[in-house]
């Protein structure tokens, strides 16, 4: 499966060869796929699952955009790790459990950034939640790429 995914991604690489290295291209494709999945899940859960309504758990009340953020996170965390480990950062010689721990730290930071940025864009700027999510994605993607390259899947020299 991994080889087929790599062959598919690498088939399109010649178009981007002059713009970015192969690893960055793979990151862009895998990360972009995971971001689109995240955005799709966020949109569907915000508009249809939670129906733009507050989620009252009895002991905790969650705003609908935060509930949608959490639902999307639960799905995209494992897909993002698996794509990063087996498709993008394949030359990392760190043990899988170390990578998973570091990835978890990075994703928790991303989740916190998502939460703070969503709160800022929705509640302080008055943007619609889906538009806020798109702005947030652009900010978090840069941080995520740098974290994964230099920390989570770092190559020992």
Q: pLDDT tens across 2-55, in order? A: 999 999 999 999 999 999 999 899 999 999 999 899 989 999 998 998 887 777
Number of C-beta neighbours around residue 14 at 10 A = 8
pTM for this one?
Answer: 0.77
Contact status, residue 72 vs residue 38, Cβ threshold 8 Å: yes
Contact status, residue 118 vs residue 66, Cβ threshold 8 Å: yes
β-strands 61-62, 55-56 pairing: antiparallel
The enclosing H or E element of 62 equals strand 61-62
The enclosing H or E element of 77 equals helix 64-83
Nearest partner of 112 among 147, 157, 156, 61, judged by Cα:
147
Question: 105 by DSSP, 3-state: which?
Answer: helix
Place 157 in a pLDDT band, splitting at 50, 70 and 90: low
Number of C-beta neighbours around residue 118 at 10 A = 22
């Amino acid at each position: 499966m991994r080889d087929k995914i790599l062959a598919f991604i690498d088939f399109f690489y010649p178009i981007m060869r002059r713009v970015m290295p192969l690893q960055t291209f793979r990151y862009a494709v895998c990360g972009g796929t995971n971001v689109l999945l995240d955005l799709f899940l966020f949109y569907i859960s915000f508009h249809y699952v939670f129906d733009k309504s507050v989620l009252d758990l009895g002991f905790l009340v969650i705003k609908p955009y935060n509930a949608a953020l959490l639902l999307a996170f639960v799905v995209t965390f494992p897909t993002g790790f698996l794509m990063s480990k087996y498709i993008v950062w394949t030359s990392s010689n760190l043990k899988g459990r170390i990578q998973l721990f570091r990835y978890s730290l990075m994703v928790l930071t991303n989740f916190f950034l998502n939460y703070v940025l969503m709160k800022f864009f929705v509640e302080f700027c008055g943007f619609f939640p889906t538009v806020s999510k798109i702005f947030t994605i652009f900010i978090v993607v840069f941080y995520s790429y740098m974290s994964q390259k230099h920390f989570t899947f770092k190559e020992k020299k």
